[in-house]
Amino acid sequence: MRLVYLLALLTVSAGAQTNDVTKVIVTGDRVSLRAEPNLDAELLDRAMSGEEMVYFEETNGWVAVQAPENLNFWVAGEYIEEGVVQPNKLNVRSGPSRNYSVVAVVEKGDTVSTRGEFNEWLKIAPPVGSRVWISADYVDVLEPPKPEPEIHMPEPEQASVPEPEPEPKPVVAEKPESKEELPPLMLVLDKSKPQGKLDRLPGVLRRANPGLYKLVLISGEIEEPICLVRGRESQLEKLLNRTLLIEGKVYWVKDIDLPVIQPEKIHLDPIITD
């Protein structure tokens, strides 16, 4: 379940650059985007020729696509506290009253990005999964690109993190044999936690402290670190800001709240399922 939840954040958020999604391209000018799949439904915006949108489904000559980021949607403000949804389910509407169409449903614990307020209703950015409808006559479905090949990353040439000892001592990473130099890294293993367990962790790669990188989840403008990554700088620098699934051994060290993973295999732009 953890990987499924992480995928939901990684796939659609702006920072997660997953390529393997189906899109449509608009073939007409000023094509109507509507709240429901019929000509009498509320007009929300217009799409221009050449725009690309994430495809959800097609029914009766209409295509459901991800709502453009420039649209403003609304939720009842009484059910939101500090940007967090309080009820189990909450309708997201196209306007600030219950007379407007439901365009998405958010759940308890979800966060919303507010843009304003009107008559006790909050104006928000389109949540993940918000859908609008466009006539199938004015779009072409684009085939998703083929996934890039996996990168098999060998063990880093610097010293591996050792198994815990009765009296743990600082471990200093040695310089690799190549000309590439990594800054010294002091790690003291936490004996109270399991060490060297294989795991698979997804996220977007960012720089962390010297000698380390980190995987983060991205939701709107919020980045939540998942783990630190220790590997060869020459390889990891090329993968910065990419969505990855890293397989490797996980270690816990003192004075650091996040686990440290040492990559054995890295998948680019992963598709994660149950």
pLDDT tens digits along 89-131: 999 998 899 988 888 899 999 999 999 989 889 999 999 888 8
Do both 187 and 269 map to the same domain? yes
Mean pLDDT over residues 208-231, rounded?
Answer: 86
Stronger pLDDT, 149 or 228, i.e. the higher one:
228
Task: Specify the range with the lowest mean pLDDT, choosing from 134-143, 186-195, 223-232.
Answer: 186-195
Task: Work out the mean pLDDT of the chain and round it to a whole number.
Answer: 79
Do both 79 and 168 map to the same domain? no
Which of 118, 142, 166 is where one domain is finished? Answer: 142
Reference 125, options 54, 46, 72, 53; nearest CA is 72
Helix (H) or strand (E) holding 128: none
Return the amino acid letter for 40: D
Stronger pLDDT, 236 or 158, i.e. the higher one:
236
Do both 229 and 132 map to the same domain? no
Do both 137 and 30 map to the same domain? yes
Q: Give the pLDDT of residue 164.
A: 54
Do both 11 and 28 map to the same domain? no
Helix (H) or strand (E) holding 5: helix 2-12
Do both 114 and 206 map to the same domain? no
Count other Cβ atoms within 10 Å, centred on residue 48.
10
The domain spanning residue 4 has which CATH number?
2.40.50
Q: Give the pLDDT of residue 126.
A: 92
Q: Give the pLDDT of residue 149.
A: 56
Percent of the chain with pLDDT over 70: 75
- The 10s digit of each residue's pLDDT in 38-65 is 998 899 999 999 999 899 899 999 999 9
Stronger pLDDT, 164 or 202, i.e. the higher one:
202
Host domain of residue 235: 1-21+149-274
C-alpha–C-alpha distance, residues 172 and 161, integer Å: 9
Q: Give the pLDDT of residue 61.
A: 92
Which of 89, 113, 142 is where one domain is finished? Answer: 142
Res. 132: pLDDT tops 90: yes
pTM above 0.85, yes or no: no
Burial of 143 (0-12, 13-18, 19+ CB in 10 A): exposed
Stronger pLDDT, 19 or 96, i.e. the higher one:
96
Reference 91, options 46, 42, 129, 134; nearest CA is 129
- The 10s digit of each residue's pLDDT in 148-185 is 555 455 555 554 555 555 554 444 444 444 444 445 55
Q: Give the pLDDT of residue 2.
A: 40
Edge-first strand order for the sheet with 102-107 is 102-107, 89-93, 73-76, 121-124, 114-118
Residue 237: pLDDT band with limits 50, 70, 90: confident
Mean pLDDT over residues 188-207, rounded?
Answer: 89
Percent of the chain with pLDDT over 90: 36
Do both 70 and 124 map to the same domain? yes
Q: Give the pLDDT of residue 173.
A: 40
Stronger pLDDT, 164 or 136, i.e. the higher one:
136
DSSP state of 208: -
C-alpha–C-alpha distance, residues 197 and 250, integer Å: 5
Do both 9 and 29 map to the same domain? no
Give the 3-state secondary structure of residue 237. Answer: helix
Do both 116 and 210 map to the same domain? no
Q: Give the pLDDT of residue 253.
A: 86
Mean pLDDT over residues 133-161, rounded?
Answer: 68
Do both 179 and 102 map to the same domain? no
Return the amino acid letter for 12: V
Do both 178 and 216 map to the same domain? yes
Q: Give the pLDDT of residue 185.
A: 58
Number of domains in the chain: 2
Which of 142, 164, 180 is where one domain is finished? Answer: 142
- State the Cα angle at 230 between 7 and 6, rounded to 5°: 10
Do both 69 and 158 map to the same domain? no
Return the amino acid letter for 262: Q
Structure tokens at 196: 């060297």
Residue 219: pLDDT band with limits 50, 70, 90: confident
